[in-house]
Amino acid sequence: MVTFVKNFICQMQGIKPVESPDCYLIVVDMQNDFVSGALGTKEAESIVNAVANKALCSWHKKDGS
């Protein structure tokens, strides 16, 4: 089931799935409303760059680019 979900998400995002990741980064509901919108907080705004950098670093490590 995990493999199916992983492949489905990758297909929806247009990215190539990683065969055996050592760890996962799961970001849930990181939308404007929950960051800088009506439901947002300063704390949420302060982590946006760190989350984006972590996602990019993780992707490049696995991708090799």
Q: pLDDT tens digits for 2-60?
A: 677 777 777 776 766 666 666 677 777 778 888 889 998 999 889 888 888 877 765 55
pLDDT of 1 = 62
Single-letter code of the amino acid located at 51:
V
Tell me: pLDDT of 64 over 60: no
The residues, any chain, with a CB within 8 Å of residue 36's CB and separated by 6 or more, are 44, 45
pLDDT of 48 = 87
pLDDT of 29 = 74
